Structure 1
């Protein structure tokens, strides 16, 4: 891992790459749902109305990104985590996870986060489990076709 890693929050210049990285992995494993198409067309919504995008920059390149999405009930969802294929296995996801959890706890004052995923996303599920996330739902999701597992973490 290079020392040049820089995690940024709501860096507008990173939003197109945030959208592209997420569209890429989603299309590799699943298909773009309506919410994904909206993210691709308007990634800035993930930095508005209480939402946050975290991006990992290495030597001027965006190696990965993830978002915190505020739901109407006040809960935050960790969502849209993606790491560029050439940077996978180098700890980028862990750095993003650490930054997001720290921000959620220390800046937003949160004590709980949740996420939705798919059992095909084995590397992501391993990352979440290593970081203390626990499964709170298995099976079909009422809104997202690809989501078949939900996890949560008490911060």
Structure 2
């Protein structure tokens, strides 16, 4: 399937239900929904409140993928909940989301650092992060998230 023009939206409330559904799908495919995931599904709007942001990629009006920037109590931001619709995988949507998110974080938010948590089973995601200059800063069990066994960071 050829994909059309990709439009990037920031904090588009209409994209939030799809953001939650896409993330719930991949999480359930590889792992299980943890409490924070269940909250995301029930209340996706929390991902655009209190300094949080959702960046979504749209093709012909359809949400093809999305990612969030989540503000932590210490002021650091986490790149989290990145998902691309299975119908649009293999067309560079993840890369477009990564580029748009890093640009937004650096140029609009004024951030110089991001971190993320992932799982070594998410091989395609880890390849994307590595291609974009993210480096591993943690390996092994995470104290909060059962599925997270690798952490990465990037200085923007």
TM-score greater than 0.5 by the shorter chain: yes
Secondary structure, in 3 states, of the residue corresponding to 1:79?
Answer: strand
Unaligned stretches of 5+ in structure 1?
Answer: none
Matched, 1:150 2:147: no
Kept in 1, the 8 Å contact 2:4–2:60? The answer is no
Runs of 4+ in 1 over 3 A off after TM superposition: none
Kept in 1, the 8 Å contact 2:118–2:148? The answer is yes
Give per-residue Cα distances to partners, 1:80-101, cap 9 Å, x unaligned. Answer: 0000001001000000000000
Q: Residue 59 of structure 1: CA displacement?
A: 0.6
Give per-residue Cα distances to partners, 1:28-50, cap 9 Å, x unaligned. Answer: 00000000000000000000000
The residue that corresponds to 1:4 in the other structure is: 5
Secondary structure, in 3 states, of the residue corresponding to 1:143?
Answer: coil
Counterparts of 2:75 and 2:132 in 1: how far apart (Å)? 23
The residue that corresponds to 2:52 in the other structure is: 51
Kept in 1, the 8 Å contact 2:16–2:45? The answer is yes
> Structure 2 matches for 1:21-36, cutoff 5 A?
21-36=22-37
Secondary structure, in 3 states, of the residue corresponding to 1:100?
Answer: helix
Q: Residue 60 of structure 1: CA displacement?
A: 1.3
Give per-residue Cα distances to partners, 1:7-53, cap 9 Å, x unaligned. Answer: 10000000000000000000000000000000000000000000000
Q: Alignment length, in residue pairs?
A: 155
Counterparts of 2:11 and 2:97 in 1: how far apart (Å)? 13
Over the aligned positions, Cα root-mean-square deviation in angstroms equals 0.8
Unaligned stretches of 5+ in structure 2?
Answer: none
Counterparts of 1:3 and 1:111 in 2: how far apart (Å)? 32
